Structures are given as C-alpha cells and as structure tokens.
Chain A
Amino acid sequence: MPAPIRLRELIRTIRTARTQAEEREMIQKEFIVEFGTNAIHSLSEYNHFYSSMIQPVKSDLNHSTQYVQGLALCTLGCMGSSEMCRDLAGEVEKLLKTSNSYLRKKAALCAVHVIRKVPELMEMFLPATKNLLSEKNHGVLHTSVVLLTEMCERSPDMLSHFRKLVPQLVRILKNLIMSGYSPEHDVSGISDPFLQVRILRLLRILGKGDDDSSEAMNDILAQVATNTETSKNVGNAILYETVLTIMDIKSESGLRVLAINILGRFLLNNDKNIRYVALTSLLKTVQTDHNAVQRHRSTIDKVTREKALSFALVNGNNIRGMMKELLYFLDSCDPDFKADCASGIFLAAEKYAPSKRWHIDTIMRVLTTAGSYVRDDSVPNLIQLITNSVEMHAYTVQRLYKALLDDISQQPLVQVASWCIGEYGDLLVSGQCEEEEPIQVSEDEVLDVLEGLLVSNLSTPVTRGYSLTAIMKLSTRFSSMNRIKKVVSIYGSSIDVELQQRAVEYNALFKKYDHMRPALLERMPIMEKTATNGPAEIVQTNGETDSTILDTKHLPSITQPASQANDLLDLLGGNDVVPVIQITVPTKPASAGGELLDLLGDLSLTGGPTPTPAPSVTLSQHPFLLDGLASQPLFNDIAPGIPPMTAYNKNGLKIEFTFERANPNPNIAVITIHATNSTEADMTEFVFQAAVPKTFQLQLLSPSSNVVPALNQGSVTQVIRVLNPQKQQLRMRVKLTYTHKGSPVQDLAEVNNFPPQSWQ
C-alpha cells in the first residue's frame, strides 16, 4: 500500500481516539507497525523519537507527497533530538533549496531547530541561504529571516557575511510599507506585520556597531517610525521593534529623538501593555544611552516625569525584573529624581517583595547607591521593615555593618545601620548569619564603629543621636559595659543639647534605674503600620515568633478575662469598680518601657472580655521608643519623695509598690510592683490583677515574667498606671493567683495604705 493511504488510515484511526493519550499511543503503535522497526520498548516523550525513527522520517522527507514531507519536517523541527538532527540535516538542507515554497518555509525553520540543537552544523546551511530573500512567498521570507537571524546571532562570521543583505532587507521592508492593500497579509491595515517585525530585528543585529549598515537603514527606520498606524496593537508592535532597533544601532541623533518620542507617547497610551513595554525599554535606554538621552533633556524630562507610572505598573510578577531596571535608573538618573525614585522603589519593594531577603537587599542597594538622596521619612519606615523581618535580622545587621565600614557619609544609611547595630549587635558579634558567610567582628570593633560615628564630622546631630542610643542598647547585649558607661558619661557634657540630654538620661539608667535598664533596652517587638506613609503604631506582640501577627491587632491569648472581671466586680461590691483586664501573655517588657510614653487617650480600659491590645502608641515625631524617651524625659519629674510601700505580704509572697509620676500629666501615677518570693519553691503562673474605684482608670501592663523565683532570687515587675483626675484617695483591690509546690493558690487583698503623695 502506498504510503499516503497508510497515512490516511493512520489519521482516521487517530481521529477515533478519544483522548490525547490514546492518540499518542496510536501514533506510536502505527509507527512501529507501519514503518517496520525493531522492538521498541516505549516512546517516551522525553526522548521524543528514538534513533530507529530516523529512517522512516528520512524516507518521509523524501516522499513524493508534500504533505508527508511537511509532516516529517514538522516532526523534526519541533521535537527532533540532536542525534536525529545530525542524521537528517542533509535532507533538510536539500529541501531548503526546493522551489516548493510550502516545503521550503518548513525546511528553513527545521534548519533553525537543527542549528539550535547542533550548532556545528550551521555551516552546511550557508550555501542554501543564498537566494532565500529573493522569494516572493511571505512564508518563505519570514522563515528565512528567522534562519538568518539565528545564524547571525550565533556566529560573528556569519554576521559579517550577511551584512551585505541589508539593502535587500531594506527593500523588502519598504515594499511592505509602500505597497497597497494586500488582503492576504493584511492585519488592520498593515501589511504582514510579522515579517516587518522580523526584518526589523534582523536589521538591528546587522546594524549594531556597524556605521555603514546603520546608515543604510536610517531612512527606512524613520519611515516606519513615522508612517505606522498606532491605533491598534499591531502598529505599536512594529513601532516597538523599530524603537529597539534605532536604539541599538548607530543611528543619527534625529532618529534617536524620534525613538524616544515614540516611547514617550507609549507611556501615555491607554493600553497598559504598551505602557509596560515602553517603560522596560525606556529604562534600558536610559541606562545604556545616558549621554544621548541627556542631549534631549527637554523630551526626557517629560518622559521621566511619567516614570511615576512605572511604579504603578510594577506588580508582583514583574517586580524582580522591574526592580533591576529601576535600580539602574536610580544609579544613573539626575539627582533631582533620585529622591522620588528611591521612595518609589521602597514603596514598590514593600508591596511586592517576593522574599524578605530580596527586600532587604533592595533596600541596601538603594541606601548604598543613593543613600544621601533618600528621604528622611524613609528611615523610620525602613527600620520598621527590618524589625518586622525577624528571620533576616542577622543578615541585615551584617550587611549594614559592612556598608558602614565602607562609607559613613550617607546619613540615612548610617542611621538605619546604627539603629540595627544597636538592636541586633549581639547577632552580629555572635556570627549567626545564615544567609551569607558570617563575618568575625568583636564587640570592641562594633563599638569603635559606633563611636566613630559620634565623633565624625560627616555625622549630623540626628545621626549622632542614633549612634549614642545604639551604643546604649548594646549595654544589655554586649558584655563590655564599662566602655559603654564611659562613652555615655562623656557625652553627658556634650555641647549638643540633644546628645547631652540623652547621655544624662542613659547615665541615670545605669546608676539609679539599673533594674529597669534591661527591660527598657530589650528587643523591639514587631510594629504594625496603619498606612505606608503614616505614623507607626506599636502593637505589642510576641515579637520573635510570628510575623503574621501583624495582621491581627488582637493578642493571641486572652484566657481568663471574663470570669476574673466578674469576680472582682463581685468583690468590690458591684458598681463602684472598674475591673481591669489582665493581659496574660507574658510579652517582653520592652513594651513596658514604650508604653510609658502613652498618651492619655488609651487609658480607658474598661471591664469586659474585649481582648484589648496593648496600648497603641501613636508616634508623632520620634518613632523610636528610646528616642521618644529622650524627648519626653521620663525621669525628670520623679517624685523622690514618694516612698515605696508594701502592698501585700503573705505566705512568702511580698509585693512592693514603687511610684513615679509620668510627665507631663500629673494625674497619672505610675506604680511598679515588685513581687518577690521568700519560700523555697518557685511561684509559677503568677498573675497579678487589680481593680480600682470607678473614678479612677487603671492600666495594667505586661509583667516581666510569670514566675517568681524562690528564695528572693529575683522579682517579677509589672507596671500599673492610674489616672486619677479627681484626685481622690487611691485604693485598690488586688487578686493574686499562682501555683506553688504543685497546687494553685489564690488570694485577694485590699491595698489602702497608699502614700498621699501618690494621688495628691
């Protein structure tokens, strides 16, 4: 039976196949049966066609029916393995010279595939390319241009050889543009846009770096650029290719301006696809062609103002690519634009960062390259970001430290770096970095760097403030306390008032309030943001565990509020008491320090089981707890006259109250409870609750822990804030629960012996 009938049978049986798998099976089976080969175990798609298929395909390539030949070429061109390509290249080459355009075009693309698979075979196709461009048939022309492009891209020799084709290509392109309506190739009024684009691309490769070729194509490029209809996507596709070509070859300046203008118009196009391609090419252009672009400043200014669009177009999927372009742009653009660009980059990075590490790296890149142009408000935002990227702390601090070693002139970078070193200096010194090779750095080296910032002329006062605070924080993270104490005391007499004030307060921390120092200088909890550019709200969370906590403003576990509130209500005779919700999650007392800043609005914690979050601190000027401490000195108005008192002392548990007044509001009394345990067993699950009369408002902050160690080895501290606007006598009911020696203990007591100064 002649082959075509066999093939028809094959096609018929295939058509009866219900699934693609069945179809494939049939094809495989038919090949085995019809074309008589040796035993073949299976035809896996990965291997495509076994070498034993070569003979049948070869014979098909020589078949009398063009249809069969076409199928064979298609098979080879789509899926041929390198072995197959090697064996059949000769047949392909023969078919490349045939006058049958149906086969010739397929052979050309087959040749492309062969070259991609077996590049060494490229040479053998060279003779056959001789007359390819003289064809009238568009299919052959198109595929020939593809073949020529492939060859030129792969071999500089081929490239120089084919440069002579430029005039011919120009002619073909011209004919396409100038010729009238050709129904066969028309797409929305444009004649064969696919071929036009392919020719433009080949011209780009041929004209690159070559003056003569570039000159030869100048006119046609200008013509295409000005005459192409832009109302539809197809026209814009051609213009896009044209612009790319103009920018890549040695075109004259007039042509370049034309190209940039086209891009500029693209940026204003309603179609977002057009805007997207315009931005990607524009950024590439500005990167590589800065000088040429500079010469046409007025055009570019308008265009770069449109750059704001680029940040709108960035999305989760193109962020990596776009960011590379944007960072290049940042490097090379005018200083006027750098601040905007940097802010935009931060915004985009924040919204679409694919990973925390990428985000940190991007920030680092901006800080190190355009650090002095970064806006001031970026610094707190960045710091917040870094705080929230818990797992990246070690990596971040290491990179920032290294950056500081290189350059301390860029203030935003220095500020962020100092802050991080202050927070995560311990990670830095312990060499814990996972993301990259941890560096060896000692505590002294770190302190050297920070002290260097203090004395450097390059540092602004704000920066100095950051460094001093960072040094102070390290007093709880490093062991070299003496050095830190010395630095802090030196700056107590600094001329800079801000520094002086901080130093004095920090000194006080060392001397009088050492017990509070660890609590105050503890790690920052994760911060939650209300809006990207808005003030940061600090929500108390268990910082180290889970950054998804950001999403919830509620604390994870409020276990006992309801019942206990009721208990207390009962106790205090019903209505004259406002019970307080005890926050049972023992979170880091860092927040205790922070909340001391709290503004009045947040004091109204009334009864009921609402899981109240830790009081949110709305930061106005200084987003940092300790900075805030500095500007609102907490300890200035300590009333040294208020003596501490013992509120409770029973069964080995002693609770002492110490008093401070929170400036500026004299109606707020701040009481710190200290619970100590003189028995031989620890008191665990220790919970302190308090209730005050209705005219008062009470706020209970988190305790330092819920274990009161035995034998007075330590204490649990907790801060209570009482608002007493009517200046009534303070009295309080307390409820204590804990587990001692395995059994739960509960006690209630009244505290009435408050010293008068605490509420007057």
Chain B
Amino acid sequence: MQFMLLFSRQGKLRLQKWYAPLSDTQKKKISREVIQMVLARKPKMCSFLEWRDLKIVYKRYASLYFCCAVEDQENELITLEIIHRYVELLDKYFGSVCELDIIFNFEKAYYILDEFILGGEAQETSKKTVLKAIEQADMLQEEAETPRSVLEEIGLT
C-alpha cells in the first residue's frame, strides 16, 4: 500500500497515512486529487479506480470514505477486506464507531492502524491480537496518568 486516506463526504480529510516518502505539498496535491476522484464516483460504479500507476480501492462506510492506493499487482478484493478489517477494529475499539470518534480520537485511530498495518502491509491478521496490543498501550498511558508519590518517582518505593 502506498497510502490510506479517510475523508468525509464533504471532502474533509480525517486521517492520512503515507507509506511512501513524499513532501507535504505532494501529499496535499495527491489527497486533493484522489478525494475529488472518489467523491465524483456514482454509487453504481465499482470500488476500483486506476490512477497514475496505482489502483485506488475505496469503500464508503456511513459518512466516511476509506481509500487505499495499492500497487498494480495487488489483489483489489483482498484490499477491500483490509479496509473492512480496519473498520471492524475501529468499531470494536470505539463501540459502534462513527466519524466523530475518529475526529476526536484521531491519535487512537492512527495507533490502531499502526498496529494493523506496517510499511503498507498487514502485520497482524488476528483482530484479537491487534486489539490486545492497543489495550496494553492504553493501560500504559493510564498508569502514567495516575498520581505517584515523590518516593515512587525517584524509584525508592
């Protein structure tokens, strides 16, 4: 995968993950182009687009478009499954996920994505394992937020 974009029906970008080195201006340009292209699609059209030398695979879930750009030799149908898996992970984590969840907890959305996909490829095919890893990360953060005594801080207790 080269990149993944999440955007609303109004074209607002909610999440962008890039797996290729590109400058900010390039990313902006690409995002704009791809968003425009996908938003212009009619409901009856298929979920695949050819764009430059990549394939754009997209699917709409409620008010959000999930859009992946994959290389030419990738299996488009399994990419749809990847997108679906990511949505399932979000859904399990947030409990009936909606766009607002992603807007207000975007760092979590990125964490989940980073535990599922690394360098453009899926690193874990088990939903349970991904969610467990996120859970552990959450626990670590919670621990950090609980107040500690001065002694604990310097490591004496």
Contact = CB atoms under 8 A, between A and B. Distances in A.
Interface string B122-145: 111111110001001100110111
B125 A109 contact: no
Interface stretch (B45-53, B60-68, B91-99): B45-53
Contacts of A410: none
A165 B53 CA distance: 32
Nearest to B19: A78
Contacts of A109: 118-119, 121, 123
A315 B49 CA distance: 9
A194 B81 contact: yes
B118 A106 contact: yes
A320 interface: yes
A148 interface: no
A142 B75 contact: no
B80 A143 contact: no
Given A45-B23, A194-B122, A20 B77 contact: no
Contact of B82 (A8, A113, A194, A313): A194
Interface stretch (A270-278, A401-409, A589-597, A713-721): A270-278
B136 A105 contact: no
Given A8-B141, A11-B144, A237 B77 contact: yes
A305 interface: no
A194 to B, nearest CB: 5
B22 interface: yes
Interface stretch (A185-193, A482-490, A604-612): A185-193
Contacts of B19: 78
A102 B49 contact: no
A73 interface: yes
Given A12-B144, A240-B77, A318 B24 contact: no
A9 B21 contact: no
Contact of A184 (B77, B114, B126, B143): B126
B46 A241 contact: no
- Give the interface size bracket for A toward B: 35 or more
B39 interface: no
Nearest to B13: A20
Contacts of A139: 123-126, 129
Contact of B77 (A113, A142, A236): A236
A112 interface: yes
Nearest to A315: B45
Nearest to A108: B123
Given A67-B136, A78-B118, A313-B46, A273 B126 contact: no
A276 B75 contact: no
Kindly name the residue among B27, B114, B121, B133 whose own CB sees the greatest number of chain A CB atoms within 10 A.
B121
Contact of B80 (A74, A138, A237, A317): A237
Contacts of B125: 138-139, 142, 185, 192, 194-195
Interface string A74-107: 1001110100000000000000000000100110
A46 B124 contact: no
B81 A193 contact: yes
Given A46-B22, A184-B128, A197 B48 contact: no
Contacts of B123: 105-106, 109, 139, 142-143
A7 B133 CA distance: 16
B37 interface: yes
A202 B81 CA distance: 19
B156 to A, nearest CB: 14
A20 B106 contact: yes
A73 B125 CA distance: 18
A35 B123 CA distance: 28
B81 A112 contact: no
Contacts of B45: 272, 315
B119 A113 contact: yes
Given A45-B23, A138-B125, A241 B75 contact: yes
Interface string B54-81: 0000000000000000000001111011
A79 B78 contact: no
Contacts of A195: 125
A48 B21 contact: yes
Interface string B19-34: 1011110010000000
Interface residues of B, number: 45
A348 to B, nearest CB: 14
A318 B49 contact: yes
Kindly name the residue among A74, A192, A244 whose own CB sees the greatest number of chain B CB atoms within 10 A.
A74
A318 B44 CA distance: 15
Interface residue SS majority, chain A: helix
A245 to B, nearest CB: 11
A44 B22 CA distance: 11
B75 A237 contact: yes
Contacts of B106: 20
A353 interface: no
A177 interface: no
Contacts of A20: 106
A14 B107 CA distance: 9
Contacts of A317: 37, 49-51
Nearest to A313: B46
A77 B127 CA distance: 21
Contacts of B143: 8
Contacts of B23: 44-46
B103 to A, nearest CB: 11
A318 B23 CA distance: 27
Given A8-B143, A139-B124, A139-B129, A73 B118 contact: yes
A277 B51 CA distance: 16
Interface string A679-708: 000000000000000000000000000000
A146 interface: yes
Contact of B24 (A11, A17, A46, A241): A46
Contacts of B37: 317
Given A139-B125, A197-B78, A77 B119 contact: yes
Contacts of A274: 77
A197 B78 CA distance: 8
A79 B119 CA distance: 8
Nearest to B154: A1
B141 A276 contact: no
A112 B50 contact: no
A234 interface: yes
A167 interface: no
A12 B145 contact: yes
A4 interface: yes
A239 B48 CA distance: 18
A4 B76 CA distance: 40
B129 to A, nearest CB: 6
B16 to A, nearest CB: 9
B118 A241 contact: no
Interface in A1-47: 4-5, 7-9, 11-12, 14-15, 17, 20, 23, 44-46
Contacts of B27: 45
B24 to A, nearest CB: 6
A456 B109 CA distance: 72
B78 A318 contact: no
Given A184-B126, A272-B45, A318-B49, A8 B144 contact: yes
B27 to A, nearest CB: 8
Contacts of A127: none
Interface string A233-263: 1101110110010000000000000000000
B52 to A, nearest CB: 11
A68 to B, nearest CB: 10
18 contacts: A7-B140, A8-B145, A44-B24, A78-B118, A105-B123, A109-B118, A138-B125, A187-B85, A201-B75, A233-B77, A233-B80, A234-B81, A244-B75, A273-B46, A273-B76, A273-B77, A277-B76, A315-B45
Interface of B: 19, 21-24, 27, 37, 44-51, 75-78, 80-82, 85, 106-107, 114, 118-119, 121-129, 133, 136-137, 140-141, 143-145
Given A15-B107, A106-B118, 4 more contacts: A5-B144, A78-B119, A272-B44, A274-B77
- What are the 5 tightest A-B residue pairs by CB atom distance, in nearest-first order? A8-B144, A237-B77, A77-B119, A139-B124, A237-B78
